[in-house]
Amino acid sequence: MAPKKVVKKEVSPLEIRELPTPAVDDANLRMSYRIARGEQGEPYKSYLLPHWRFKTIPIARASSKSLWEAFEYYVKAGDLVGADMARKFIQMGMTRAKRYANHKGGRKYDRSERELERDGGVRSELPRSEAHEGRDEKLGASEVFKEVWKRCTSNDSYLELKTEFLAEQKVWDREQKKKVKKEEKIVVKDEEEDD
């Protein structure tokens, strides 16, 4: 008996008007976000992840369209965290599809990070696969995302929002360090008085 094929649930179109913008009103959430630091950025990750697909070129087109619409929505709302998370998912669509094009099954290294932590040693890149089934489809999917990613990274409104965010974050970080130092002084003073 053949094993059952797992069918992923069809993802409904992204309802842009339903996208929350929590970082707009929550300074702690906004300032804790770091550009170009992995896929952190909850709750945005939960909103965008279901729309991130790259298996075929048509799926990549639909996915990149939804993510682009989310990107535009967040930029217009002045929500850099949301816009940057949408940009990251678009970039990950490009890079992940490319990985599947270059390596059958998408596995790039012989060992995972978890295996390295557990066993030590080094890991090496697996040889690239030049002619596996689905390679051209994944290359095409990667190109679909690449075009949208280029639009994101050259979007003037996004770049302006990013510049403003980084300036605000620099001031925020400086103030937080001052606050921590002040609290440390209070703790030391209290400890000295107890002695």
Report the C-alpha gap between 92 and 89 in whole angstroms: 5
The dihedral formed by the CA atoms of 152, 141, 37 and 115, expressed in degrees to the nearest 10? 180
Percentage of the chain modeled with pLDDT above 70? 76
pTM of the model: 0.75
- CB atoms < 10 A from the CB of 60, how many? 25
pLDDT in tens, 25-45: 888 888 888 887 666 667 888
Check whether 111 has a pLDDT greater than 70: no
Check whether 182 has a pLDDT greater than 70: no
Report the C-alpha gap between 156 and 164 in whole angstroms: 12
Domain borders along the chain are: 20-161
User: Residue 27 is which amino acid?
Assistant: A
pLDDT of residue 130: 79
- Banded model confidence at residue 6, pLDDT cuts 50, 70, 90: very low
Asked if 54 and 97 touch (Cβ cutoff 8 Å), the reply is yes
User: Residue 184 is which amino acid?
Assistant: E
Rg for the chain, CA atoms, rounded: 22
- Banded model confidence at residue 193, pLDDT cuts 50, 70, 90: low
Structure tokens at 140: 């095409």
pLDDT in tens, 53-91: 888 899 999 999 999 999 999 999 999 999 999 999 999
Structure tokens at 145: 């995302």
- Banded model confidence at residue 195, pLDDT cuts 50, 70, 90: low
Report the C-alpha gap between 82 and 153 in whole angstroms: 14
